[in-house]
Structure 1
Amino acid sequence: MPAHLIIEDGQPSWWDSADIWVVPGNDPNGPPGAPIAGTANYLWGRVHNTGNSASNGVRVDFYWADPSGQIAVGAATQVGSAFADLPPGATQEVLCLVPWVPVIVNGGHECLLAVAHGAGDINPLPDPLPNGFPFQPKQHEQIAQRNVTVVLAARRAQLLAVTVAALPRAIKKVELQLEHGGALPENLLATLGLERWQAAKDARVEAGLARSPHCDGDGPGEQKLALEVPRGQSLAIYLSLRADALPERQYALLRVLETQEGKVMGGITYVVVDLEQQQGQDHGQEQHSPEEQAS
């Protein structure tokens, strides 16, 4: 059997991959967490070789894109690459050699992708990926997507932009819809700096979709929105999000699903947390002695 390169998808939503994570700050070996806009952040990936042959000189390319369900080459910006030699059955964590500075206009709420290219892979990808090539993690095991963003709970509605882009040769007809509730795996929470946090049982999150920005008085928007995007163009949709205070170390989930004829084509996961509770937790940890932390 040849080499078999995999960057694992998230479960149950493939765009929730825990094999891609961010380390904010100047130390690439620091703790993982949410990216900080306008400053240097480091991107990490985890690549596996489940085949029976080695793959040396594996290159993992990292990309960022505006928040969107489906992403294609040309709509994503390459950050840099990481390299690894993978014997049969090996797993390696790799660091992107170029720091990533998230754009301030999105507040750091970008989607991330990792793509592995390696010699002797059982089902190699085109290298380089051609313009318009759709990143499809469900079809390509060497591709993973991390469309997960942490949002701070706020009593006033905040607006988050979601991009829907059409490929150059076809009109895109899709539906965006909201999905409330659920929980994230522990390994994914750890990469967000939310280790041992729990899903809130009674979270009050008010959210809606709209074609244009609107204020609190206009209402939250729609739970479903049908869209038609001309070929080669993109459309901005606005997510209005408001959440009451959450209990300490608890989070609420909201997903924006992009569907086509009832089939989920992609999505974005928003993890709503309470900043004051998080700061309180961090402050409490600072008061512990090293012996208490070790226990």
Structure 2
Amino acid sequence: MSAHILIRDGSPHWWLSADVWAVPGNDPNGAPGTPVSGQKAYVWAHVDNIGDADAQNVRIDFYWANPAGQMTAGAVNYIGSGYADLPADPKEAMGQDVLCLVPWAVQIVNDGHECLLAVAHSPGDSNPIPDPLPASYSFDPPAHDQIAQRNLTVLDASKMASMLRIAVNGLPRQDRRVRLTAEFGGELDERQLQRLGLARLQLRPAPKPEVQVRLSLEPRCGGQSDGEKAPSLAVIVPRGATVPVYLDIQAGQLHPDHYQLLHIVEHDDAGKPLGGVSYVVIPQGKENRL
């Protein structure tokens, strides 16, 4: 008999987990929403034990990172931890919402568009992960039920004058070549909309791409990029390094009643997805109603 800790991945991409969310402001029990740069936020995770043995004093570690595809332990920032006793729940009927006991001081970097990770450690887990995590450890949520990632940000179309930055992280001992691609489409379920604070806006998913995307290795003044300007970009990352990629989103054609789900997906040479960052682009001025 053993415990099996679960923090559910997202769908259709694992980095869209609805089991990890933030509450902006000073009240951890307030409404979920988008963190604000320079202000406090609280981070939560919904954690379950689908094994056949109870799990005592499970520790959930919370991290934030600059937007990136594949992430390693050495490239993320520890926020704090929360704890829970989880009875066996093979049918996933219970679970607990676990609060990170330390508030997250949201950084100004990238205007607060950051990624969140929740990692559960339990001594009796049937699929344990290292504790502590070595700096070279690559987070792989699909392979580990106790790891979940939330790389999902709300963007107001009126606030995209500056370019967004995505980090492509290198491996510690060898160079790597990856390709970033922009993918459109998909729909957020009701739980995701609630977690993002978007449910009240009553927006519909765009039925086709309504925003334009450019990826580049070099920025320039005015939010326009030099270099390759396309929804796909090859990147060579020296070992131990991080290469910034710049994302330019133009949303002037977005319908006022639609939202556009945009995924920037990192692939290896064989085309296997390694991770990604997703954005919900909403019409101009809608953010003021959140």
**By the TM > 0.5 criterion, same fold?**
yes
* 1:15–1:144 CA contact under 8 A, matched in 2: yes
**CA distance 1:213–1:59, change in 2 (3 Å):** same
- Mapped to 2, the partners of 1:130 and 1:218 lie a distance apart of 36
The equivalent of 1:185 in structure 2 is 189
1:67 aligns with 2:67: yes
The equivalent of 1:126 in structure 2 is 130
Unaligned runs of 5+ in 1: 283-295
Deviates more, 1:3-12 or 1:149-158: 149-158
C-alpha distance after superposition, 1:8-64 (max 9, x if no partner): 000110000000000000100000001111000000001110011100100000001
1:244 aligns with 2:248: no
1:4 aligns with 2:4: yes
1:213 aligns with 2:183: no
1:278, CA displacement in angstroms?
4.5
- Opposite residue 20 of structure 2, the aligned amino acid is I
SS of aligned partner of 1:83: strand
Out of 231, 243, 256, the residue aligned to residue 239 of structure 2 is 231
Out of 258, 278, 289, the residue aligned to residue 269 of structure 1 is 278
* 1:6–1:47 CA contact under 8 A, matched in 2: yes
Percent identity reads 47
Deviates more, 1:201-210 or 1:170-179: 201-210
1:180, CA displacement in angstroms?
1.8
* 1:154–1:242 CA contact under 8 A, matched in 2: no
Unaligned runs of 5+ in 2: none
* 2:218–2:225 CA contact under 8 A, matched in 1: no
Count of matched residue pairs = 281
- Mapped to 1, the partners of 2:84 and 2:179 lie a distance apart of 40
The equivalent of 2:264 in structure 1 is 256
* 1:255–1:270 CA contact under 8 A, matched in 2: yes
1:206, CA displacement in angstroms?
1.2
SS of aligned partner of 1:272: strand
Deviates more, 1:174-183 or 1:198-207: 198-207
SS of aligned partner of 2:154: strand
- Mapped to 1, the partners of 2:238 and 2:57 lie a distance apart of 40
**CA distance 1:242–1:86, change in 2 (3 Å):** same
SS of aligned partner of 1:98: coil
SS of aligned partner of 2:125: coil
